[in-house]
Amino acid sequence: MNNGNTKFIIGGGISGLIYGFYNRDFQIISPDIGGKLKNSYLTSTILLHDTPETKRLLQDLNIDPEPKAQVMRYFYQDKLQENIPANLKELMVAKKLTPWEDLNKLNFDFKITDTTLSTDDVYIPIFKIPLDKVIKALAKEVKIVKDKVVRITENEIITEKGRYRYTDLISTIPAPVFWKIYGRERNLKSLPETFVLAKSNPVEKTSLYWDLVYFLDKKVPYTRVNRYSNDSYLYEFTGELNKTQIKKLLPKAEILNVYTDRYGIVITDLNNIPPPNVRFVGRFATWNHTCKVQDVIKDSIARYDFLSIWNKQKEFNANFFDFNVRDIELQQKLTKEFVLHIEDEAHELLREVNWKMGQYKHIEVDRGRLLEEWIDVFKYWLGLGNVWGFTLEDFVNEFWRKSLIVDERFKQYFKDNDKKVDDKSSG
Ligand SMILES: Cc1cc2nc3c(=O)[nH]c(=O)nc-3n(C[C@H](O)[C@H](O)[C@H](O)COP(=O)(O)OP(=O)(O)OC[C@H]3O[C@@H](n4cnc5c(N)ncnc54)[C@H](O)[C@@H]3O)c2cc1C
């Protein structure tokens, strides 16, 4: 069923569509187009932030970016407030991570120690254009097969209607779903989130304007409310609610729509690493709650081309030795030179952290400087490979050959240790 194509994207939400838009050699497989944003009212809570990446996307889609400030407020101690002390934000997070029915058990003994106001701006710069319009524009430009993936192996995608061989795979589906259909279980934590679109203003008696309000009091069962239209509002609850519970919690409201997102609140896990020929893109695939549309655009445009890095360094090293000359004496001498340089650069990296016993002068660890030193080690390391004429192909093949051996040794080590424990317990 491939028709010559071996590059696929799983999922037709905004992440899959953006990746497909910037990478036209990829084909999307998804039962729907738009994902969460099919529910147009969710576009009042999922915003297109004003960033260079989102501006570029709108320009590439010929959509006029209309900048706007989203006005955020806080409801605390029965009052709408323009801002809250920075440390009260912890209360907001604690509430968001507690299912609505457990809020009374939330033991958040909060003492205000810092009375300065948060420096976070409550006027969030966004683009006014609703994300469902962006979805429509993207969908016109990409190739989509309407189907659902039910199994993924190391080189094949099985769908409800067929099968596809793949070389490159982008997954935008929630990570727990990916791992399940990949045949591996992963313990990734999340909480469901329920969105209720209702005709009922949660803060009627106020003269303060707002687009979005965070509710901090424990007795209020929802975490935040977005203004959707002049008379309808989107309430967000942590956890699941049935119709009767919603009626009880919002007795005066006319309920227009309800949507529960099983994985709405993602508890970030940076150990969620994809298999070698797979890339995770988007918040739910990467399992990183900070991931937004602008990160998806960045990931879709970025080119991680190792061949050009390889060639760049080799070209630089050609200033110092002639690759046509095979001189075993010189190669051995240069090996010593490069190893010493690698070692020296590695020590420069080490000096960026507090590692010495009795190191009395504490240094601030600077990730930028660590990165620079790490690259310096890498440059000399590449040069050493150049000295012996290793090619990128040699590097890739040897990397995988050695990785399989290391994996095997690692498994064997645990097998042997388990056996020793079994032998001891049975003996
Ligand atoms: C309350 C809330 C607020 C948010 N606010 C923002 C915000 O302000 N700004 C921002 O940028 N982001 C925000 N996000 C994150 C946001 O949801 C995303 O950036 C975006 O909507 C996610 O799109 P997606 O394509 O990654 O996932 P989804 O929209 O979930 O799309 C996943 C797609 O995968 C498909 N799929 C699932 N299973 C399969 C399968 N087996 N086979 C094939 N296809 C499959 C689905 O049908 C769907 O099309 C927010 C999220 C939440 C929950």
Q: What is the pLDDT of residues 136-178, one digit of tens each?
A: 999 999 999 999 999 999 999 999 999 999 999 999 999 999 9
Residues 167 and 315 in one domain: no
Task: Check residue 427 and give its pLDDT.
Answer: 52
10 Å Cβ neighbour count for 427? 5
Among the atoms of ligand 1, which is closest to the Cα of residue 285?
26
**Whole domain around residue 83: which residue ranges?**
70-125+189-266
Query: Residue 1: inside a domain, yes or no?
Result: no
What is the CA(16)–ligand 1 centre distance, in A? Answer: 9
Residues 198 and 243 in one domain: yes
Residues 354 and 230 in one domain: no
Give the pLDDT band (50/70/90) at residue 108. low
What is the CA(27)–ligand 1 centre distance, in A? Answer: 18
- Helix (H/G/I), strand (E/B), else coil: 167: coil
Whether 14 is in the pocket of ligand 1, judged by its Cβ within 6 Å, is yes
Task: Check residue 425 and give its pLDDT.
Answer: 63
- Give the model confidence (pLDDT) of 242-257 as tens digits: 999 999 999 999 999 9
Residue 190 has pLDDT above 80, yes or no: yes
CA neighbor of 175 nearest in space, from 288, 12, 99: 288
Query: Residue 416: inside a domain, yes or no?
Result: no
Query: Residue 419: inside a domain, yes or no?
Result: no
Give the pLDDT band (50/70/90) at residue 279. very high
Residues 119 and 29 in one domain: no
Task: Check residue 314 and give its pLDDT.
Answer: 93
* Separation between Cα atoms, residue 193 and residue 263, nearest integer Å: 7
33 Cβ contact list (under 8 Å, min separation 6): 12, 17, 135, 139, 144
Q: State the DSSP H helix or E strand holding residue 126, giving kind and residue range, or none if neither.
A: strand 123-127
10 Å Cβ neighbour count for 380? 20
Percent above pLDDT 70 for the chain = 95
Whether 13 is in the pocket of ligand 1, judged by its Cβ within 6 Å, is yes
Instruction: Say how many domains are in the chain.
Output: 3
Give the pLDDT band (50/70/90) at residue 113. low
**Least confident range of 24-28, 30-34, 356-360:** 356-360
Give the pLDDT band (50/70/90) at residue 115. very low
**Please, which contacts does 58-64 make with residues 24 or more away whose CB atoms are closer than 8 Å?**
58/127, 58/129, 58/134, 60/21, 61/21, 61/134, 61/137, 61/138, 62/137, 63/129, 63/133, 63/134, 63/137, 64/129
Residues 146 and 235 in one domain: no
Residues 109 and 62 in one domain: no
Whether 57 is in the pocket of ligand 1, judged by its Cβ within 6 Å, is no
Task: Check residue 117 and give its pLDDT.
Answer: 45
CA neighbor of 100 nearest in space, from 206, 211, 240: 240
By the 8 A CB rule, do 81 and 114 touch?
A: no
Task: Check residue 121 and give its pLDDT.
Answer: 79
Task: Check residue 158 and give its pLDDT.
Answer: 98
Segment 389-399 shows an average pLDDT of 94
Residues 364 and 310 in one domain: yes
Task: Check residue 68 and give its pLDDT.
Answer: 94
Task: Check residue 111 and give its pLDDT.
Answer: 57
Whether 284 is in the pocket of ligand 1, judged by its Cβ within 6 Å, is yes
Segment 274-293 shows an average pLDDT of 96
Task: Check residue 303 and give its pLDDT.
Answer: 83
CA neighbor of 61 nearest in space, from 69, 53, 49: 53
* Separation between Cα atoms, residue 152 and residue 366, nearest integer Å: 40
Q: What is the DSSP letter of 276?
A: T
Residues 194 and 255 in one domain: yes
- Give the model confidence (pLDDT) of 211-250 as tens digits: 999 999 999 999 999 999 999 999 999 999 999 999 999 9
Six-digit token string for 12: 């037709």
Per DSSP, helices labelled H in 140-211 are 175-181
State the ipTM, two decimals. Answer: 0.98
Residues 275 and 326 in one domain: no
For all residues of the chain together, what is the average pLDDT?
92
Residues 108 and 40 in one domain: no
Residues 366 and 333 in one domain: yes
Task: Check residue 119 and give its pLDDT.
Answer: 47
Give the pLDDT band (50/70/90) at residue 204. confident
Task: Check residue 85 and give its pLDDT.
Answer: 84
